[in-house]
Amino acid sequence: MLEDNSNGLTQRFRRLLRGLWEDIRVLDQQIEELDKEIATLAKSDPVALRLQQLRGVGPMIATAPN
């Protein structure tokens, strides 16, 4: 969409969209890194391991502070 010059988007709007797209990509990467960190913690914490045996409780909930 950003590369299609015939769609009527101005260059200014294209730059804005490109910047927003880059922001989303960075946030996605940060979320992925945090998910890995949570998964590692959930595998090493005995309480989190027990909690994850309950249906519907995954690493995020099992490692959430009280």
Give the predicted TM-score (pTM) of the model: 0.72
Over residues 20-25, the mean pLDDT reads 96
Q: How far apart are CA 2 and CA 6, in angstroms?
A: 10
Domain residue limits at 35: 20-62
Q: For residue 39, is it within any domain? A: yes
φ, ψ (nearest 5 deg) of residue 8: 85, 5
- pLDDT-derived band at 23, boundaries 50, 70, 90: very high
Q: What is the pLDDT of residue 11?
A: 85
Q: Are the C-beta atoms of 41 and 63 separated by less than 8 Å?
A: yes
For the chain, what is the domain count? Answer: 1
Q: For residue 12, is it within any domain? A: no
- Which residues, in sequence order, are CB contacts of 38 under 8 Å at separation 6+? 59, 60, 63
φ, ψ (nearest 5 deg) of residue 56: 90, -5
Q: For residue 4, is it within any domain? A: no
Specify the higher pLDDT residue, 14 or 50: 50
Is residue 58 helix, strand or coil? coil
Instruction: Give residue-wise pLDDT tens across range 32-66.
Output: 999 999 999 999 999 999 999 999 999 999 999 75
